[in-house]
């Protein structure tokens, strides 16, 4: 399982062709998926299959009591493994998934330059959830497209508007594969209870719909 994870990511890097001027970042919440992606990068770097490690970006939302602990965990872990790490603090006007996501991208845009690349740990299960959410919300056939492995994202800040590149190398990797990888390497990830909270649309889909479709539990 570890070999599958690393082989997939190594091939993705081989196909990336990162522009010389572009800097590589990795969004890490401290959760299982993003910490596993960071650790996979660390292993490939140690094997000489990556020229440099990405800079880890952690967003402190300030809306849960545990946010300080998550921030400290990510920062400590990143430094111990040789990553540069930047903490980005945001203030949310309202507690919603969409608002939080937009605020995160705005924060990323403050530190990233035009053309830089941000690694995201979205996986195959996230893709299925995203398609269902879009269909339920009335996106129609357009919703079937789901998330793209490579996406140019325009972000707006107070100072400027710029385009950054979002890269999702694990869209064909399952949550179960990542869970086994994280367990095998005893990664100290945190569980965000909002991911399965039925108060949020994604939480309801993850808990109530997908298990019935695929005969599994999240």
Q: Alpha helices of 29-148 — where are they, by DSSP H?
A: 32-46, 67-80, 97-111, 124-136
What single DSSP character describes residue 190? B
192 is in an annotated binding site: no
**158 labelled as ligand-binding?**
no
The 8-class DSSP code of residue 54 comes to P
CA 133 to chain centre: 18
Between CA 25 and CA 167 the distance in angstroms is 10
31 is in an annotated binding site: yes
Could you tell me the two tokens for 112? Answer: 């990233």
Phi then psi for residue 141, to 5 deg, are -60, -30
Check whether 30 is labelled as a binding-site residue: yes
Binding residues: 29-34
**Residues in the annotated binding site for ATP:** 29-34
């Amino acid at each position: 399982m570890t070999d599958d994870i690393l082989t997939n990511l190594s091939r993705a890097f081989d196909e990336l062709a990162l522009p010389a001027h572009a800097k590589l970042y990795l969004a890490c919440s401290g959760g299982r998926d993003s910490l596993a992606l960071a650790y996979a990068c660390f292993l490939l770097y140690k094997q000489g299959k990556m020229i440099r490690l990405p800079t880890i970006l952690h967003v402190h939302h300030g809306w849960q009591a545990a946010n300080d602990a998550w921030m400290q965990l990510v920062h400590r872990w990143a430094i111990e493994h040789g990553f540069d790490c930047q903490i980005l603090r945001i203030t949310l006007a309202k507690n919603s998934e969409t608002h939080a996501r937009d605020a995160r991208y705005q924060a990323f845009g403050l530190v990233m330059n035009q053309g830089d690349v941000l690694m995201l740990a979205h996986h195959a299960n996230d893709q299925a959830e995203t398609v269902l959410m879009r269909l339920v919300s009335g996106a129609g056939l357009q919703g079937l497209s789901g998330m793209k492995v490579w996406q140019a994202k325009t972000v707006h800040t107070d100072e400027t508007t710029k385009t950054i590149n979002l890269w999702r190398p694990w869209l064909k990797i399952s949550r179960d594969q990542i869970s086994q990888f994280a367990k095998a390497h005893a990664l100290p990830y945190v569980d965000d209870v909002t991911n399965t909270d039925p108060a949020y649309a994604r939480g309801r889909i993850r808990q109530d719909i997908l298990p019935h479709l695929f005969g599994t539990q999240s």
